[in-house]
Amino acid sequence: MKPKILILLLLVATLPFLTSLKFSDYEITAYFKAIETPRDAFSLNTDDELSETKLLLVKQQLPEGKYVVKVTKVAKDLYRIDGKKIDGKEIYIQTKYCYEYAYGKEVILKVDGNYGFSKGRLIF
């Protein structure tokens, strides 16, 4: 009888810790490959404003599946996959309302498809 009470007390004591282990996942709206621009390159944006351009991001398709990758946040709702490339180009992920700070953070990338509004999930 006493071992059952001890086990029950142990489970009750660890419950707050177990419930705090939550994952955050965010919608992915696009995948890009990055193309570096020459020095002193400028672009004209949709608001007819001239701005200096560091990278061109070109929409890219990714194979469906689940991947464990490391990501770094580079801008609002934009993450770079560290160490993975397509055609020798870095891969970037555009999310929707993702405020997670990440620098080489290991995450799960779930690619559901390449068409439609939602392309997959980024799970922290």
Q: What pLDDT digit, counting tens, does each position of 67-113 carry?
A: 999 999 999 999 999 988 877 889 999 999 999 999 999 999 999 98
For the stretch 15-42, pLDDT in tens is 555 555 678 999 999 999 998 888 888 8
The verdict on pTM exceeding 0.85 is: no
Comparing CA positions, the residue from 52, 90, 51, 56 lying closest to residue 70 is 90
Q: What is the pLDDT of residue 85?
A: 81
What value does the mean pLDDT take over residues 43-52? 89
Tokens for 122, please give them: 């980024």
Q: For residue 65, is pLDDT > 70?
A: yes
Beta bridge partners of 33: 58, 91
Structure tokens at 95: 């999310």
